[in-house]
Amino acid sequence: MIDKQSPIPIYFQLVEKIQKEIEQGILKPGDVLPSEREYADTYDISRMTVRQAITKLVNDGYVHRKKGTGTFVNESKIDQPLQGLTSFTEDMRERGFVPSNRMLSFQVREASDYIAGKLNIALGAQVYEIERIRLADDQPMALETTWVPCDVITGLTEEVIYDSLYNYIESKLGLAIGSASQVIESSIVNEREMNLLSLPKGAPVLLIERITFLADGRPFEFVKSRYRADRYRFRIQMSRS
Ligand code: 16G
């Protein structure tokens, strides 16, 4: 099962083996991995090699170590395609999760220089500022702050936002959503995000900024999201043409 003659490093063969067991559901989220000694004995390899393999699995987000207890399998990551311009509600439903929101704040305010610049509106123009925790099956996935110009998306209410912003825009206002420009960066949680997203100190998050435009070209939202890096990965199809 571990081929010591193979040019593929032994630790990497073990990584692939454990990864496969996680992907096939032989090892499930929350399961404890066999100990270093057990792996070493089973495959007749050194504990150092086992440790190297486990460290790679920790770094890749498949498992986490708990001091004094062992190594546990993580919840699987949501594989999010980057091509489609979808909403959180749609993304979660498509995966069979029940989406929900926890409203942290909903207010109308005057656009700061920064927000006005992002939305290409006048300084001081009215914007909705919305902060929500986005949940899937009651688990926090992301913390999202959204700024929406009041005169572009009219009649927003807290009730609307508890449901879906994109659904309101398309189904209720009959406006077409056209395109978006998005940037993804890595970061770690601060104290507040740690509590809101139920993450440990120093946990990685993906900072996503999106400006989205209606089909007629008007920007209708500027969004700053913090997605849990232990639950998300992004996928894109590429071709060399
Ligand atoms: C996603 C979008 C966000 C949009 C929201 C609408 C990313 C990074 N962001 O969270 O820009 O405002 O969906 O969701 O994907 P809703 O229609 O469920 O309110």
| Model confidence band, residue 163 (pLDDT cutoffs 50, 70, 90) | very high
1 assigned to some structural domain: no
pLDDT at 42: 96
Confidence check: pLDDT of 79 > 90? no
Among 23, 39, 73, the domain boundary falls at 73
Whether 88 and 25 map to the same domain: the answer is no
Confidence check: pLDDT of 78 > 90? no
Whole-number Å distance between alpha carbons of 82 and 105 = 28
Query: How close is the Cα of 97 to the center of ligand 1, in Å?
Result: 15
Mean pLDDT of 83-99: 93
Whether 120 and 39 map to the same domain: the answer is no
Averaged pLDDT of the chain? 94
Q: Give the pLDDT confidence of 189-227 residue by residue, as tens digits.
A: 999 999 999 888 898 999 999 999 999 999 999 999 999
185 assigned to some structural domain: yes
As for how many domains the chain has, the answer is 2
Ligand 1 pocket, 146 CB below 6 A?
A: yes
Pocket-testing residue among 144, 185, 206, ligand 1, by greatest number of atoms within 8 A of Cβ: 144
Which range of residues forms the domain containing residue 133? Answer: 78-235
Whether 99 and 66 map to the same domain: the answer is no
Torsion of CA 92, 234, 227, 22, to 10 degrees: 80
Query: How close is the Cα of 125 to the center of ligand 1, in Å?
Result: 23
pLDDT at 76: 81
Residue type, 204: P
Task: Say which DSSP state 4 is in.
Answer: T
Residue 196, exposed/middle/buried by CB under 10 A (0-12, 13-18, 19+)? middle
Find out whether 57 and 19 touch, Cβ atoms under 8 Å: yes
240 assigned to some structural domain: no
| Model confidence band, residue 115 (pLDDT cutoffs 50, 70, 90) | very high
Ligand 1 atom closest to Cα of residue 144: 10
Find out whether 155 and 163 touch, Cβ atoms under 8 Å: no
Whether 215 and 116 map to the same domain: the answer is yes
Whether 202 and 100 map to the same domain: the answer is yes
241 assigned to some structural domain: no
Confidence check: pLDDT of 5 > 90? yes
Among 73, 92, 124, the domain boundary falls at 73
| Model confidence band, residue 232 (pLDDT cutoffs 50, 70, 90) | confident
